[in-house]
Amino acid sequence: MKKKLVHVPFLYPVLLWGLLLFLFSCQNHKLPFTDQDVFRYNEARNITSLDPAFARNPQNNWAVQQLFNSLVQLNDSLEVVPEIAKGWDIDPSGTIYTFYLRDDVYFHPSPAFSDSITRKVTAADFVYSFDRLTDPKVASPGGWVLQRVEYYRALGPHTLEIKLKNPFPAFLGLLSMRYCAVVPREAVAYFGDQFRSNPVGTGPFSFKYWEESVKLVLRKNPTYFECDAKDNPLPYLEAIAVQFIPDLQSEFMLFLQGKLDFMNSLDNSYKDELLTPDGLLHPKYKDKIIMQQGPYLNTEYIGFYMDTEHPVMKDLQLRQALSLGFDRSQMIDYLRNNIGFAAFKGFIPKGLPGHAQQNWINYNPVLAQTLIKDYEEENGALPVLKIATDANYLDLCEYLQREWEKIGVRLQIDLMPTATLRQAKSSGKLELFRASWIADYPDAENYLGLFYSKNFAPYGPNYTHFSNVDFDSLFESTFRIKSAKKRMAVYQKLDSIVMANHPVINLYYDKAVRFLQPNVKGMTMNPINTLNLKYVQKK
């Protein structure tokens, strides 16, 4: 669809921004429009920064998504489509990407622009933004996104060239991450360390007000460059209001009272109130709540640390026995009201191209018990296993404890704070640990990289220290395969190598669940669970 290019006279944004400043004066944070124009949700986990260079978690990312744009974006089918870049070329070597930028994208009005209240985005702004992302002084957690890049440069006001060190077919998906959003040099210089709480972007909504741990308010960007399929300007909403109530039960009550338009959480304290045992919306809420659900690119698993002499970690049949020795379907039914998919297939999750078509593991307690007995007859009694987890997954580990006891395995649960668990897992101090992998970008390479020997933790995500020569060679070959179909076939072979060696026990593939008020329209979902509010309306 061809977009209309809207050229805004200088005085229009000046007058408009002045009006917005008047309506949103610091002395009065009440919204000057009806509730029908405001989208309200709660962020129980809080937001730590509105700077895209620190969009490292879903809560930061959701807010940043509304405020900033990147070169490219993902649609709901996880296809890379244009955003600020209206198109691009990739040279035959697969290493040089040339992006052609739109010429109608403006930064949000800000006092940071000394000569005017706003200005157009240019290729030089992306060069600056990428420099900042990789600057050690900024210390962005997203610098890794550009680690495969040899250089990037502006070839003109609206042409950007990026050269990779080696071919990497998933690179466009990486660029869709909000880490790669464009920011203006003037605003970073003007606000300094406070840019985190005074963001200036190009997105469908602009920053208005943030009282940390209390409330965040974003306003419609009246000069936003994207339109809908009928050439109507986006976004439709006038404002977004985010609260920060840490108690999920309180969030649920506010949602039932109609004081929130959207709820993403499903806490144990109310899941049985909302859902039937089969994972369906309870009949009494049929006409009061809209429930959305779909695959979420997150594989929950138990990891074995392979760099140890512990008998279970070194013995393939014992690892296989543990994987066979519990009923995943019952676990999902009993603990999660069927919110999730039992992980009988590979490590690549449901919803991502490359997901296995066949079952690699099934529930077989008889075979599991036989494998355990065979080991003990030859080597003596199996020692007590210790699994590390945090409080969020205690119930899951207790389920494994009960199930594994039936096949002759004793399990001790070591409960840790989440940060301690993360650090211990990275440093190789845990022989058995519960973990999850949420996609950074929508390519199966991101999951298979957890088993590449050059990615050993703590310098990479290979927390199990799994090492296999055939896997490594095949994994490296995928970087040179241009055909997505052929690459998916190799991904599935790699996944089968992982499953045959059991460095992990797949538990379940996650499912995203959302609850909306019935008057919310235009809310869509995708397997990376982004919050895209530019198409949302309240009717």
- Residues 507, 522, single domain; the answer is no
Asked, for residue 323, whether it belongs to a domain, the answer is yes
Helix (H) or strand (E) holding 319: helix 316-324
CATH number at residue 60: 3.40.190.10
How is residue 134 written in tokens? 């990789």
- Tell me the pLDDT tens digit for each residue of 227-281: 999 999 999 999 999 999 999 999 999 999 999 999 997 888 898 899 998 889 9
Mean of per-residue pLDDT scores for the chain: 92
Over residues 405-462, the pLDDT tens digits come to: 999 999 999 999 999 999 999 999 999 999 999 999 999 999 999 999 999 999 999 9
CA distance 370 to 182: 58
Task: Determine, yes or no, domain membership for 66.
Answer: yes
**243 with 313, same domain?**
no
Closest C-alpha to 383, from 412, 362, 403? 412
Question: By three-state DSSP, how is residue 167 classified?
Answer: coil
**Are residue 472 and residue 528 in the same domain, yes or no?**
no
The first and second tokens of residue 49, run together, are 């920064």
**pTM, entire model:** 0.87
Least confidently predicted of 17-31, 140-154, 167-181, 229-243: 17-31
CA trace torsion 368, 374, 378, 380 (10° rounding): 50
Kindly state whether residue 261 falls inside one of the protein's structural domains: no
Contacts of 124 (CB under 8 A, 6+ apart): 154, 157
- Tell me how many domains the chain contains: 2
Per the CB < 8 A criterion, the answer to whether 458 and 427 are in contact is yes
Digit-coded pLDDT (tens) for 395-417:
999 999 999 999 999 999 999 99
Residue 425: which CATH number? 3.10.105.10
Token pair for 61: 């990312």
- Number of alpha carbons in the 13 Å side-chain half-sphere of residue 293: 16
355 with 223, same domain: the answer is no
- pLDDT the model gives residue 403: 97
* 140 domain residue, yes or no: yes
Residue 490 lies in a domain: yes
Q: Domain for residue 472, yes or no?
A: yes
Q: Which pLDDT belongs to residue 30?
A: 52
Length of the chain: 539
Is a pLDDT exceeding 90 seen at residue 9?
Answer: no
Q: How far is CA 436 from CA 179, 259, 305, 363, 505, in A?
A: 21, 33, 15, 21, 11
Whether 189 and 325 share a structural domain: no
Q: What is the pLDDT of residue 26?
A: 36
411 with 468, same domain?
A: yes
Residues 324 and 203 in one domain: no
Give residue for tokens 């940043």.
64
pLDDT for position 2 = 35
412 shares its domain with 524? no
Residue 220 pLDDT level (bands cut at 50, 70, 90): very high
Are residues 239 and 306 part of one domain?
no
Structure tokens at 350: 């449901």
Phi and psi, residue 189, nearest 5°:
-70, -40
Residue 331 lies in a domain: yes
Residues 323 and 193 grouped into a single domain = no
Residue 7 DSSP symbol: P
* Structural domain of 117: 11-248+517-538
Co-location of 338 and 476 in the same domain: yes
Is there a contact between 99 and 160 (Cβ–Cβ < 8 Å)? yes
pLDDT above 80 for 14: no
Residue 371 lies in a domain: yes
Same domain, residue pair 457 and 374: yes
